[in-house]
Structure 1
């Protein structure tokens, strides 16, 4: 995992039931934070920015990953679009330029 950037495109994993998708995504991050090797960064785009707010249980896991040295970043355009810029409880606002930089250096694992 240490040579990867995780791209989070939604506040749930998969296209089925919303509660199921949210639960699966939460399980992913619960297990990820327990692993010895962590990703370089987690970059949230589109509805993925909601995972960085207190409205999502996933924000707790993102805060823990951040405290373990993982960069947790939100697409500024997306956060502004959804009106969550001031509501982020985990991570920080970043730019598409930063994502391009990260993706040119690390393998991208996309969660959607």
Structure 2
């Protein structure tokens, strides 16, 4: 897992019932943070940037991952599109250029 970057492109996991998708995504991050081997980074884009706000239960897990050394990044264009610049409570706002650099070095695991 240490050579992977998690790409979170949505505020839920899977299609179908929205609340189920939110719950499944939270379970994913709950289990991820308990692993000995963690990913290099989590990059959030599109509605995935909502995960980095206090309005998402996932933000608690992202904060714990960040404390363990996982870089948590948000797509600047997406953050600005959703008007969340002042609401990001974990990680940092990044650029698509940084994501391209990460994707050149690490395997991307997309969750959406």
TM-score, length-normalised on structure 1?
Answer: 0.99
Q: Distance in 2 between matches of 1:24 and 1:16?
A: 12
Q: Distance in 1 between matches of 2:87 and 2:18?
A: 22
TM-score, length-normalised on structure 2?
Answer: 0.99
Matched pairs, number: 112
- Across the aligned residues of Structure 1 and Structure 2, the Cα RMSD in angstroms comes to 0.4
Runs of 4+ deviating beyond 3 Å: none
Name 2:100's counterpart in structure 1. 100
SS in 2 for 1:34: coil
Q: Distance in 2 between matches of 1:107 and 1:16?
A: 27
Larger helix share, 1 or 2: 1
Per-residue deviation, 1:85: 1.2
Per-residue deviation, 1:71: 0.2
Name 2:49's counterpart in structure 1. 49
Q: Within 5 A, what are the aligned runs for 1:1-112?
A: 1-112=1-112
* Unmatched segments (≥5 aa) in structure 2: none
Per-residue deviation, 1:26: 0.2
